[in-house]
Amino acid sequence: MSRTVFLGSSGFAADVLQRLAASDHRPALVITPPDRPRGRGRRTLPTPAAAAATELGLEMLKSSNVNEPEALEKIRASEPEVGVVCAFGQLIREPLLSEWPMLNVHPSLLPHWRGAAPIERAIMAGDPSTGISVMQLTAGLDSGPVALQQKLAIGPRESFGELERRLADLGGDLLVQALDARAAGRLELREQDDALATYAEKIDPSERHLDPARAAGELDRVVRALTPHVGAYLELDDGERLGVREATAQQGELPAGEIAVEEGLLLGCGEGVLRLDVVQPAGGRPMEAGAFLRGHRPPARAL
């Protein structure tokens, strides 16, 4: 059994926290960023990790900077043996880094896809698999020594949301295994090979745009990588945006940018065509292409 402090923010972190709280290493304290406006209505809401901590009855601190004295004193007062970091979104500095051993749950097979968007980048790149790494946090970007890793195949039609849930389940299990091994004095760390590192840069807003000059297969992967949390879209020739929530690349010939109504919506691409399965009109909700066509005039072209 280890006395832990958990630092996390996202839905992925919330799922891992649920698993950790059910283990012998239940956190004495959860630290997460403050509530902020979210969603279409811009309502002020807690982070998913905060919501999970409340549901689990865990003591919590909401901090915009975990390195500030207030947060450090709160951590010290909880007397942790080890810290757990998972999709936290804040840079952790000294003395926090060295005052306690810190284990990080990262959704990739390090050193592949270090950085902010490893799940999205793996799907965008068409990787056949990804995985979970439990590593020791250091000052470098996801460069610390690795304790445990496990590979996970990426489904051929899997979206970010689907893959994130499966990785979170695996991450929670691996984290508990690592903490069990540490408590028993059996946790071994191995250094990463920096020469093999690749980087998962944060998703830039411009990457949401589905450029029809690109191959349909590439756009298919972008849609899956950004669904449901970010969202991809087409820029239509009338100035409107059409969100694309599900799409499928297929063979066919249609001029790039042209949109045809053939048992649904087809977008001509630089290579192949993209069938638009679920779309989201501006100000509306996601709907199947057939439902969209029953209530909207078909768009003619995307830019």
Q: Which of 200, 216, 246 is the last residue of a domain?
A: 200
Q: What is the pLDDT of residues 263-273, one digit of tens each?
A: 889 999 999 99
pLDDT of 41 reads 65
212 & 196 share domain: no
Residue 303 falls inside a structural domain: no
In a domain, 265, yes or no: yes
Structural domain count of the chain: 2
Last residue of a domain, one of 200, 218, 233: 200
Domain harbouring 262, CATH code: 3.10.25.10
Tell me, yes or no, whether 80 and 34 share the same domain.
Answer: yes
8, 144: one domain: yes
Query: Burial level of 251, CB count in 10 A (0-12/13-18/19+)?
Result: exposed
Q: Is 110 helix (H, G, I), strand (E, B) or coil?
A: coil
User: Considering the domain boundaries, does residue 185 fall inside one?
Assistant: yes
CB-based contact 86:8 (threshold 8 Å): yes
- Which residues make Cβ contacts (< 8 Å) with residue 164, sequence separation at least 6? 11, 12, 107, 119
8 Å CB contact between 157 and 224: yes
Domain ends where: 143, 171, 200?
A: 200
Helix (H, G, I), strand (E, B) or coil at 198: coil
Which pLDDT belongs to residue 128? 98
Task: In the chain, count H helices and then E strands.
Answer: 8, 17
pLDDT in tens, 161-183: 999 999 999 999 999 999 999 99
Peptide bond preceding 299: is omega within 30 degrees of 0, i.e. cis? no
Q: What is the pLDDT of residues 230-260, one digit of tens each?
A: 999 999 999 999 999 999 999 999 999 999 9
Q: Taking 70 as the threshold, does the pLDDT of residue 39 lie above it? A: no
pLDDT for res 1: 81
Dihedral of the alpha carbons of 202, 205, 206, 211, in degrees to the nearest 10 = 100
Distance CA 105, CA 17 (A): 11
Range of the domain at 219: 205-295
Note the pTM of the prediction, 2 decimals. 0.95
For residues 228 and 181, membership in a common domain is answered with no
Strand partners of residue 136: 103
Q: Could you give the maximum distance between any two Cα atoms of the chain, in Å?
A: 66
300 within domain boundaries: no
Q: pLDDT class for 38, splitting at 50, 70, 90?
A: confident
The span from the first CA to the last CA of the chain, in angstroms, equals: 57
* Contact of 12 with 87, CB cutoff 8 Å: yes
